[in-house]
Amino acid sequence: MTTLTAPRSDASHLFSAPVIVAALGYFVDIYDLLLFGIVRLPSLASLGLSDAEISLTGASILNWQMTGLLLGGILWGVLGDKKGRLSVLFGSIITYSLANIACGFVQDVTVYKFFRFVAGVGLAGELGAGITLVSEILPKHLRAIGTSLVAGIGLLGAVVAYFTVEFFDWRYAYFIGGGLGVSLLLLRIGVFESGIFKDIKDRKQVEKGNFFALFNNKDRLSRYLKCIGIGLPTWFVIGILATFSNEFGKALNIAEPIKPGLSIMWCYVGLSMGDLASGFLSHWLESRKKAVLYLMLFTLAASCIYLFAGINTASNLYIVASLLGFGIGYWAMFVTIGAEQFGTNLRATAATTVPNMVRGTVVLMTTLFANFKMSFSVINSAALVGVICFAIGIYCILTIPETHGRDLDFLEE
């Protein structure tokens, strides 16, 4: 007698082990990614640096972490396509968890730089591998909601990081981050590999994880660059408007000193809610492109309010920062678009490198911002950088192929 198996409900798909573990993994990833920015001042001061040295050394350590992210994005992306999505989820979390625990013991700036570099390498793999795995295991009508759940829950790691530093010494904050990662590693033991990837894993004739294949074909290169371009407004908001919010507070003549850490936290609160909303919006509109475009235009409007509406209190600035965060809540959708644009043999490589390439553009944005400030006001300098980022972002989302409902079981030739 044949036994019929009842079809799985949407809820059972969305709250399956891979989705939950990917969300918790991104939570720890964001906690650790932002932690140095939050503990930069107290950690470097405790190592005996002067205010001038803290400024220069802090920027140097951030650059080392960013370099790690760029290199790690390529490393884990290639491994994700060659060895599997799970190998990256395990390998990346071991790397950044141990590096963060080590950061809690540092007594020397050079050692600090090294371990933030290693942490950056590890942190680069989490989101891309998680989004790729979730995209491939969920039914196509649930992909947008599933990936937005991963990012929406994960981004709350920024809030936890902020309050952890408020209540604990900076060294303990690193130990907590490393401990969370090790605990998560135990949860991942029961997570299964993507079936789509397993189908091609042993096919020797299929070239897998060739990073340079993203550049040797005009159509692939165009899709890849457009994926990166879509993400530029997100890091304009985080890397310029939120990070330098203390400068904007002074330029707007706000009496109360603005705390950049608090601006970033409120931005990430909005970002978490926006990420949750973006998946449902894409599902409802049946379009990735429309969902991202509408949120991008919302962000543009909020950026104009932030810079030109004459905000005159700290609380109002933090409110607008949360609105900006909500607008760039298409972050998960943009990474999902990156995963859906490419075949199974290049999917992890694209989805893992794209967000880290966007993070890397922050160096260009801050350089432009600094150069513009030599000729223009702080407000107008930020506006000029924003015009460039939004122009590129809007062009890219309008011209990239739609991927809603696309079957992901295909290869890049």
Check if the beta carbon of residue 293 is closer than 8 Å to that of residue 394: yes
Residue where the block lists tokens 């640096």: 49
Quote the pLDDT of residue 7.
64
Residue where the block lists tokens 């992909």: 143
In a domain, 216, yes or no: yes
Q: How many CA atoms lie within 13 A of 247 on its CB side?
A: 15
In a domain, 410, yes or no: no
CA distance 285 to 279: 10
Identify which of 279, 211, 240, 262 has the alpha carbon closest to the alpha carbon of residue 23: 279
In a domain, 245, yes or no: yes
In a domain, 17, yes or no: yes
Q: Which positions ≥6 away from 17 have C-beta within 8 Å?
A: 190, 191, 192
In a domain, 257, yes or no: yes
Q: Could you list the pLDDT tens digit for every one of the 413 residues in the chain?
A: 445 445 667 777 787 777 888 888 888 888 888 888 788 888 998 999 887 788 788 878 888 888 898 899 899 988 888 887 777 878 888 899 999 999 999 999 999 999 999 999 999 888 887 888 888 888 888 888 888 888 888 888 888 888 898 888 999 999 999 999 888 877 766 665 556 656 666 666 667 768 888 898 899 999 999 999 999 999 999 989 998 888 899 999 999 998 888 898 899 889 988 988 898 899 899 999 999 999 999 999 999 999 999 999 999 999 999 999 999 999 888 888 988 999 888 888 888 899 889 988 888 898 899 899 999 999 999 999 999 999 999 999 999 999 888 877 777 67
Complete DSSP assignment for 396-410: HHHHSPP-TT-----
In a domain, 336, yes or no: yes
For helices 17-46 and 126-137, what crossing angle results, to 10°?
A: 170
In a domain, 5, yes or no: no
Quote the pLDDT of residue 18.
78
CA distance 42 to 300: 34
Structure tokens at 396: 């890219």
CATH code: domain of residue 210 = 1.20.1250.20
Quote the pLDDT of residue 193.
59
User: How many domains is the chain partitioned into structurally?
Assistant: 1
CA distance 73 to 67: 10
In a domain, 392, yes or no: yes
Identify which of 212, 206, 235, 226 has the alpha carbon closest to the alpha carbon of residue 289: 226
**Domain around 35:** 12-399
Q: Is the pTM of this model over 0.75?
A: yes
CA distance 206 to 39: 45
CA distance 410 to 408: 6
Structure tokens at 113: 């730089």
Question: How many CB atoms are closer than 10 A to CB 90?
Answer: 16
Q: Render pLDDT for 40-74 as a digit per residue (tens, 0 to 9).
A: 888 998 999 887 788 788 878 888 888 898 899 89
Quote the pLDDT of residue 201.
63
